[in-house]
């Protein structure tokens, strides 16, 4: 069925709540108001206030409560309205939830989900538009997924709730209202750690995540080359087999990241592929990212900030023609080196 | 023949019903902590540790009041609570010394003790972290209709961190079955609490959350246990959380690196005059449960027990390499680093 991403998320949570009475949801304005982005529509009506809870503006408090609840028998799903708000609760996720299994020899675990909206494109400014996946990326004990539309949101949220470990779900805010054909029910569940080959080609492998999947598909449309476009879907643990297999065939790797250039998630993938698939590469690995600046507010600059389909298409043209890495646009235009 | 060393954590917990065993356990904690300090001082143990000499009555009072099905969140100053709640000296010392005999095989160390069989959740090395976590454990009981409660123990320093205020607020608005026990041992790390905190009784902070509170003498087991029992009864009855402040004192510095030279002259002596072990021993003798000779014999037995525990632990195998790869995820094969 065709669903908006926000509806697919609410549906996924409801489906898990129906089959598992230990699943609860907590967050700011998620019960009576059904969520600032309407991702918990209908949950309070169906499941009642014991399991669907509005919290105070108190992320450290309710993320901590989620850890304690998860350790003792519940499966909490908490919503962080904007991922930046996780900054005041990071201890509970990175230092408590992620270490609970390790520090108890497996006798206490934290089967909880932290959902947060992320990303640029809606004019929320520098403090409400980051993706920040790197905050959670290098933290053994956590898993991390990023949907790219309604279908993957439904399938990943269901898997995240079922997972026995803490899972972070970063939801590109700009996609909440987008409609997509979505498989619901158990057939729609997407296992964690499995990437999706969105389309096949032979000249280049483009790996994307979240809202950059659409950008990558748009870049490949009408190009003079054909690409494997891989929607990574799970960032921790990422699907090495799928990416390696593709690069072995195409001989080129391009990463499209919605985050600053330095330290972005693509560096990990680039390093791994350069190490393990070096023999198959016929040109340098290229990363299309955002520049190393905060997210600007005005719509035209926000769009310039994000990797664009035109830049990616032209960059891959250049890569294939010259065999050299195209410089990022901000370098070519003299804004930064 | 079984000895005290063979007792399970649950047996050790149950044994505390006997007031003489309470003295035994306090002596065990005291001697254990004194020896830990020495072993660190001699460089025989790696890393850091935070000992609790002087605060034993709070540990025993907690262990008497809480059920083993209640969930207890403690701090990195946790050896005393762990021993009182039932963990064996072998599993605690094994963990502190990084041995396979430790409660989680030695990969956690001094600050990370736990035993689900007696309700001890992993102690946290982050000041205040256990407070909202305890609220969450209480939430489980509320949502699933269980009779369990949660108890959070934390120091005076934790009442200045956001987690304290957010945790108490959440527990109060949701009327969660949780008891917050503050061990006011006068110092938050290296700083006297009156230089960091504008109120004398930390219990007054409960007022902001519409929560009842109590100040108790943390040197007297019965006072501590009675206050926690009252609070647990309220919590189990659906009347929500309570904040209890136990006035106590930390004889040692913050951690092994701290000689506590900042203390005003005479302060330690004033508190030593109300040492919880001396007070309890005197009370047992006054009640005719023990005489001086038996009390001395008990102390000697405890010392011998701890010495043999140290000897056995130091001779046991160091933590294995395999153990540091376990329990990162549910299935250890699914890691981010893979092959």
Q: Domain boundaries in chain B?
A: 4-325
Contact A72 B137 (CB under 8 A): yes
Beta-bridged to residue B180, according to DSSP, are: B152, B243
Res B336: pLDDT: 42
Quick one: CATH architecture of A2-188?
3-Layer(aba) Sandwich (3.40)
> Please, where are the H alpha helices in chain A?
5-19, 43-47, 59-71, 90, 98-100, 133-137, 150-162, 212-220, 240-250, 266-276, 299-305, 309-322, 329-332
CB B47 within 8 A of CB B263: no
What number of C-beta contacts closer than 8 Å exist between A and B? 159
Residues 131-170 of chain B with CB under 8 A from chain A are 131-144, 148, 150, 162-163, 166-167, 169-170
Contact A64 B135 (CB under 8 A): yes
Which residue is associated with the tokens 């790797």?
A253
Q: First and final CA of chain B: distance in angstroms? A: 49
B240 burial class (0-12, 13-18, 19+ CB within 10 angstroms)? buried
Instruction: Give yes or no for residue A337 having a pLDDT over 70.
Output: no
Write out chain A residues lying below 8 Å of B163, CB-based. Answer: 60-61, 64, 91
Any CB–CB contact under 8 A between B334 and chain A?
yes
pLDDT computed for residue B3 by the predictor: 54
Residues shown for chain A: 337
Question: Between the CA atoms of B123, B128, B131 and B136, what dihedral angle is there, to the nearest 10 degrees?
Answer: -70
CATH number corresponding to A196-332:
3.40.50.920
**Minimal C-alpha gap between B143 and chain A (Å):** 6
- Chain A positions touching B137 (Cβ under 8 A) are 68-69, 71-72
Mean pLDDT, to the nearest integer, of B98-102?
Answer: 97
Q: Is the pLDDT of residue B335 over 80?
A: no
The 3-state DSSP class for residue A289 equals strand
Rounded to 10 deg, the angle between the B276-286 and B292-315 helix axes is 140
pLDDT, residue B1, reads 42
Q: Does A51 touch chain B (CB under 8 A)?
A: yes
Q: Are B186 and B193 in contact (CB under 8 A)?
A: yes
Question: Quick one: pLDDT at residue B257?
Answer: 85
CATH 3.50.50.60 fits B4-325, yes or no: no
- Looking at the predicted structure, is the pLDDT value of residue B333 above 60? no
How many whole angstroms separate alpha carbon B46 and alpha carbon B256?
11
- Structure tokens given for B44: 């025989």
Check residue B178 and report its DSSP letter: E
Q: Centre a 10 Å sphere on the Cβ of residue A248 and count the other Cβ atoms it contains.
A: 15
pLDDT band for A299, please (50, 70, 90 cuts). very high
B188 has which bridge partners?
Answer: B191
Please tell me which residue of chain A has the smallest CA distance to B124. Answer: A96
pLDDT score of B93:
98
Exposure string over B217-229, b if 16+ CB within 10 A, otherwise e: bbbbbbbbbbbbe
Tokens read off for A139: 């933290």
Instruction: State pLDDT tens for residues A181-211.
Output: 999 999 999 999 999 999 999 999 999 999 9
Tokens representing A272 are: 């791994």
Q: What residues contact residue B157 under an 8 Å CB cut-off, 6+ apart?
A: B127, B187, B188, B189, B191, B193, B196
Chain A partners within 8 Å of B103 (Cβ): 105
**Distance (Å) from the alpha carbon of A254 to chain B's nearest alpha carbon:** 21
What pLDDT score does B2 carry? 45
CB contact under 8 A, A73 and B166: no
Going by C-alpha positions, the residue among A265, A291, A315, A40 that lies closest to residue A133 is A265
- A 10 A CB-CB count for A241 gives 12
Task: Assess contact for A201 and A226: CB atoms under 8 A.
Answer: yes
Mean pLDDT, to the nearest integer, of B35-46? 94
B137-148 pLDDT, tens digit per residue, is 999 999 999 999
Residue A103 touches chain B, beta carbons under 8 Å: yes
- Do the chains contact at A61 and B326, CB–CB below 8 Å? no
Question: What value does the mean pLDDT take over residues A270-289?
Answer: 98
Ramachandran region of residue A123, left (φ > 0), alpha (ψ -120 to 50) or beta?
left
Residues of B in contact with A70 (CB under 8 A): 136
Rama region for B260: left / alpha / beta (φ>0; ψ in -120 to 50; rest): left
Locate the domains of chain A by residue range. 2-188, 196-332
CB A252 within 8 A of CB A319: yes
Q: How far apart are CA A20 and CA A27, in angstroms?
A: 19
pLDDT score of B332? 55
Half-sphere exposure in the Cβ direction for A230 (13 Å, CA): 29
* Residue A116 to residues A28, A170, A245, A288, B299, Cα–Cα distance (Å): 12, 5, 31, 24, 56
pLDDT reported for residue B339? 34
Flag if B129 and A61 touch (Cβ within 8 Å). Answer: no
Cis peptide before A237 (omega within 30 of 0): yes
Tell me: pLDDT of B120 over 80.
Answer: yes
Residue B302 predicted with pLDDT over 80: yes
DSSP A177-245: T-EEE---SGGG---TT--EEEE--SSEEEEE-TTHHHHHHHHHTT-SS-EEEEE--EEET--HHHHHH
Bridge partners (DSSP) of residue A228 are A205
In our burial notation (b when 16+ CB lie closer than 10 A, e otherwise), range B12-21 reads bbebbeebbb
Confidence of residue A336 (pLDDT cuts 50, 70, 90): confident
Q: What's the pLDDT at A93?
A: 98
Contact A106 B131 (CB under 8 A): no
Q: Measured between CB atoms, does B335 come within 8 Å of chain A? A: yes
Q: Is residue B237's pLDDT more than 90? A: yes
> How would DSSP label each residue in B196-214?
T-S-S-GGGGGGGGT--EE
Please, are residues A116 and A140 in contact by the beta-carbon 8 Å criterion?
no
pLDDT tens-digit series, residues A5-64: 999 999 999 999 999 999 999 999 999 999 999 999 999 999 999 999 999 999 999 999
HSE-up (13 A, CA, CB side) for residue A289: 20
> Between chains, do A69 and B140 touch, taking CB under 8 Å as contact?
yes
Which two three-digit tokens encode residue B176?
Answer: 């969660």
Mean pLDDT over the full length of chain A: 98
Calculated CA dihedral for residues A33, A39, A43, A49, nearest 10 degrees: -50
Residue A23 β-bridge partners: A75
Which residue of chain B has the CA closest to A99? Answer: B328
**pLDDT tens, A140-173?**
999 999 999 999 999 999 999 999 999 999 999 9
> pLDDT-derived band of residue B33, with 50, 70 and 90 as boundaries?
very high
Q: Which residues contact A240 (CB under 8 A, 6 or more apart)?
A: A272, A276, B338
Give which of A23, A66, A104, A242 to mutate to test B binding, by max B Cβ within 10 Å.
A104
For A212-226, B7-21, B257-271, which range has the lowest pLDDT when averaged over its residues?
B257-271
What predicted TM-score, i.e. pTM, was given to this entire model? 0.96
Task: With beta carbons under 8 A apart, name residues in chain A contacting B330.
Answer: 101, 109, 163-165
Asked whether the beta carbons of A193 and A287 are under 8 A apart, the reply is no
CB B156 within 8 A of CB B179: no
Cα–Cα distance for residue pair B229/B222, rounded to 1 Å: 10
Contact present, A251 and A278 (Cβ < 8 Å): no
The residue in chain A having the minimum alpha-carbon distance to the alpha carbon of residue B111 is A103
Give the separation between CA B91 and CA A89, rounded to whole angstroms.
Answer: 32
Angstrom CA distances, A78 to A124, A263, A298, stand at 22, 27, 31
User: By C-alpha distance, which of A96, A105, A165, A97 is closest to B115?
Assistant: A105
Active site residues of A: 59, 128
Cross-chain Cβ contact B330/A101 below 8 Å: yes
The Cα–Cα gap between B304 and B315 comes to 17
Q: Tokens representing B55?
A: 């605060």
**DSSP H/E element including B95:** helix B89-96
For B205, list phi and psi in degrees, rounded to 5. -65, -20
Average pLDDT, integer, range A113-130: 97
Query: Strand (E) positions, chain B?
Result: 71-73, 150-155, 178-184, 187-188, 191-192, 213-217, 242-247
Q: Does B336 touch chain A (CB under 8 A)?
A: yes
A69 close to B (CB below 8 A): yes
């Amino acid at each position: 069925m065709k669903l908006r991403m926000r509806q697919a998320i609410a549906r996924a949570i409801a489906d898990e709540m129906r089959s598992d009475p230990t699943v609860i949801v907590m967050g700011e304005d998620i019960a009576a108001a059904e969520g600032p982005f309407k991702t918990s529509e209908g949950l309070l009506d169906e499941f009642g206030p014991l399991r669907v809870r509005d919290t105070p503006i108190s992320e450290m408090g309710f993320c901590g409560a989620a850890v304690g609840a998860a350790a003792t028998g519940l499966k909490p799903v908490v919503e962080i309205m904007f991922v930046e708000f996780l900054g005041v609760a990071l201890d509970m996720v990175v230092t408590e939830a992620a270490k609970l299994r390790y520090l108890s020899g497996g006798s206490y675990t934290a089967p909880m989900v932290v959902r947060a909206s992320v990303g640029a494109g809606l004019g929320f400014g520098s403090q409400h538009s980051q993706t920040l996946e790197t905050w959670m990326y290098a933290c053994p004990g956590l898993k991390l997924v990023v949907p790219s539309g309604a279908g993957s949101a439904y399938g990943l949220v269901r898997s995240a709730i079922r997972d026995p470990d803490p899972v972070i779900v970063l939801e590109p805010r700009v996609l909440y209202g987008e409609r997509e054909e979505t498989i619901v029910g158990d057939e729609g569940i997407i296992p964690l750690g499995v990437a999706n080959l969105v389309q096949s080609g032979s000249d280049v492998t483009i790996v994307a995540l979240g809202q950059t999947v659409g950008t990558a598909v748009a870049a490949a449309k009408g190009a003079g080359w054909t690409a494997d476009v891989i929607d990574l879907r799970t960032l921790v643990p990422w699907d090495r087999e799928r990416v390696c297999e593709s690069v072995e065939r195409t001989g080129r790797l391009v990463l499209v990241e919605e985050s600053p250039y330095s330290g972005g998630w693509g560096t990990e993938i680039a390093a791994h592929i350069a190490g393990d698939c070096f023999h198959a590469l016929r040109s340098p690995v290229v990363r299309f990212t955002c520049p190393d600046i905060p997210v600007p507010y005005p719509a035209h600059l926000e769009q310039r900030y994000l990797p664009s389909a035109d830049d990616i298409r032209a960059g891959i043209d250049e890569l294939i023609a010259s065999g050299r890495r195209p410089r990022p646009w901000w370098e070519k235009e003299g804004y930064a080196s | 023949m079984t000895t005290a060393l063979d007792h399970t954590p649950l047996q050790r917990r149950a044994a505390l019903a006997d007031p003489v065993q309470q003295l035994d356990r306090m002596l065990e904690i005291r001697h254990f902590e004194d020896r830990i300090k020495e072993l660190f001082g001699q460089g025989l143990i790696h890393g850091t540790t935070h000992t609790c000499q002087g605060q034993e009555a709070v540990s025993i009072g907690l262990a008497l009041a809480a059920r083993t099905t209640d969930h207890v969140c403690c701090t990195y100053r946790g050896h005393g609570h762990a021993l009182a709640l039932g963990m064996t000296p072998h599993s605690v010392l094994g963990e502190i010394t990084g041995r396979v005999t430790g409660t989680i095989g030695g990969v956690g160390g001094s600050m990370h003790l736990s035993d689900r069989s007696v309700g001890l959740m992993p102690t946290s090395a982050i000041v205040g972290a256990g407070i909202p976590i305890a609220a969450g454990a209480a939430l489980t009981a509320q949502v699933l209709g269980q009779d369990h409660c949660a108890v959070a123990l934390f120091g005076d320093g934790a009442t200045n961190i956001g987690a304290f205020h957010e945790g108490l607020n959440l527990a109060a608005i949701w009327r969660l079955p949780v008891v917050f026990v503050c061990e006011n041992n006068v110092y938050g790390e290296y700083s006297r609490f009156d230089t960091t905190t504008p109120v004398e009784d930390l219990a007054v902070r409960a007022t902001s959350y519409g929560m009842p509170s109590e100040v108790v003498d943390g040197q007297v087991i019965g006072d501590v246990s009675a206050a926690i029992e009252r609070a647990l009864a309220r919590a189990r009855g659906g009347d929500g959380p309570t904040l209890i402040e136990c006035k106590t004192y930390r004889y040692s510095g913050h951690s092994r690196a701290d000689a506590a030279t900042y203390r005003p002259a005479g302060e330690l002596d004033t508190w030593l005059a109300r040492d919880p072990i001396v007070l309890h021993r005197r009370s047992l003798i006054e009640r005719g449960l023990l005489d001086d000779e038996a009390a001395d014999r008990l102390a000697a037995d405890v010392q011998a027990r701890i010495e043999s525990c140290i000897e056995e632990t130091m001779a046991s195998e160091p933590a294995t390499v395999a153990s540091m790869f376990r329990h990162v995820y549910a299935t250890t094969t699914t890691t981010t680093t893979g092959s």
